[in-house]
């Protein structure tokens, strides 16, 4: 079995986090429009979309060590 390169790993996770955010956005469109649901919906959207944003920031690390430290903190 071929070992995955860092670039391949990053690309897979970039796609997965973006797909996750898009699925949550679609889910939020289906939620009820009641005030109580809106509060939960806003928090869910912030949390789900921040995963992709945080991963993107991790990928901008200057070194392999910095990437590992930042990725561990996600």
Has residue 1 been placed in a domain? no
Domain total for the chain? 1
Range of the domain at 27: 7-73
Has residue 45 been placed in a domain? yes
The pLDDT score that the predictor gives to residue 55 is: 83
Cβ-Cβ contacts under 8 Å for 52 (sequence gap 6 or more):
14, 17, 18, 20, 21
CA 18/CA 20 separation, integer angstroms = 5
Dihedral over Cα of 58, 63, 5, 7: its sign: positive
The pLDDT score that the predictor gives to residue 25 is: 95
> pTM for the whole thing?
0.73
Has residue 49 been placed in a domain? yes
Has residue 44 been placed in a domain? yes
Has residue 2 been placed in a domain? no
The pLDDT score that the predictor gives to residue 74 is: 60
Q: What residues of the chain score a pLDDT lower than 70?
A: 73-74
């Amino acid at each position: 079995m071929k070992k995955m390169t860092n670039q391949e790993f990053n690309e897979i996770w970039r796609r997965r986090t973006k797909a996750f955010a898009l699925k949550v956005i679609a889910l939020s469109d289906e939620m009820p429009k009641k005030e109580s649901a809106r509060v939960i919906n806003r928090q869910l959207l912030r949390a789900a979309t921040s995963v992709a944003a945080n991963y993107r920031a991790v990928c901008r690390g200057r070194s392999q060590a910095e990437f590992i430290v930042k990725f561990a903190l996600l």
